Amino acid sequence: MGTRNMLFCTYMNLTQDDIKKLADMSRIEVTDAEAMQYAQEFSDILGYVSEIQSVDVPFVHDTFDVSNVFRDDVWHDSHFSEVFLREVPVTEGPYVKVKQIL
C-alpha cells in the first residue's frame, strides 16, 4: 500500500451517533431522521473512496509532496495597500469606506 492509500485505508460505516457527535462538535443541529440519512450518505461516500483506493495502479506515482510546507511568518513591507487604496472611490485613513448595509 503506497503513501496515498494510507489516508483512507479501510472502509468505515458511520452511525447515527457518529453524525450527532460530529454535528454537536460543529454546532449544527440535526434531527434523528437527518442523522440517519447523513450516516448512510457519508458511509456510501467512504465506501466509494475505499473502492477507488483498492484499484491497483502501480504505474501511477504519488503526485503530491509530503514535505513540511511551513515557513516563518515574516512581515514584509508591501505597497499593495497603497496602490489598492488609490484605486477605490472612498477611503477613510488606511481603510476602504463602503455603504452601510444594515
Mean pLDDT, to the nearest integer, of 60-73?
74
Q: Can you give the pTM of this predicted structure?
A: 0.48
What pLDDT, on the 0 to 100 scale, is given for residue 44? 92
Question: Which of 18-27, 60-69, 76-85 holds the top average pLDDT?
Answer: 18-27
Segment 3-12 mean pLDDT: 51
The secondary structure element, H or E, covering residue 91 is strand 91-92
| pLDDT at position 8 | 45
CB 46 within 8 A of CB 11: yes
Q: Which long-range contacts link 58-66 to residues 24+ away (Cβ below 8 Å)? A: 62/2, 62/3, 62/4, 64/4, 66/3
